[in-house]
Structure 1
Amino acid sequence: MTARVTLYSRPGCHLCDDARAVIERVCAALGETYDEVSILDDPALLERYAEEIPVTLVDGRQHDFWRVDEGRLRTALAGTAG
């Protein structure tokens, strides 16, 4: 099963911690899974997202950056799977 939500993050990022908490809560409530990827492990991701993390993708498309809006995430996940 492929996770519908991906969180691009960086260790020690307080906004990433906040985003992870929202994503965990929403995914648990809706029976979804998520993957977390450190941008430090991929030079291309680091170059692309260094100033925008955390970045949330839903079904492979960028959904949010910096902050995750719980209501928006719930709405996106309630739609048809990509």
Structure 2
Amino acid sequence: MADVVITLLGKPGCHLCDDARAVIERVAGELGAAWEERDITRSEEDTRLYWEQIPVTLVNGVQHDFWRVDEARLRAAVEKAGELP
């Protein structure tokens, strides 16, 4: 899963982002995927695009989910992305 990157888009003080981070850390750690976090308040475009959806999760740059992270769905998406050539 080294080629899979999960991205969490959020902002400081977001309790749903904290919940999402815990799920992402667990799934990424168990599956060996990389993960990163991006603060949408550092980019006008990210703020405009994602303000009402955070937390947003991306898998390899493609939007996977928003508001809440379902662990089983994220795990399945990461596993599927890891199978792609």
Q: Judge same fold: TM > 0.5, yes or no.
A: yes
Is 1:55 equivalent to 2:67 in the alignment? no
User: Separation in 2 of the partners of 1:22 and 1:59?
Assistant: 17
Output the TM-score relative to the length of structure 1.
0.93
Aligned counterparts, 1:3-42, within 5 A = 4-42=5-43
Of 61-70 and 3-12, the range deviating more from structure 2: 3-12
1:3 Cα deviation (Å)? 5.5
- Cα 1:29/1:81, change in 2 over 3 Å: same
Letter of the 1:26 partner, please give it. Answer: V
1:2 Cα deviation (Å)? 6.4
Q: Which 4+ residue blocks in structure 1 deviate beyond 4 angstroms?
A: none
Aligned-residue sequence identity (percent) comes to: 54
- Cα 1:37/1:3, change in 2 over 3 Å: farther
User: Which digits, 9 at most, give the CA deviation of each residue in 1:32-81, with x for residues without a partner?
Assistant: 11010000000000011110000000011100000000000110111124
Gap runs ≥5 in structure 2:
none
Gap runs ≥5 in structure 1:
none
Output the TM-score relative to the length of structure 2.
0.90
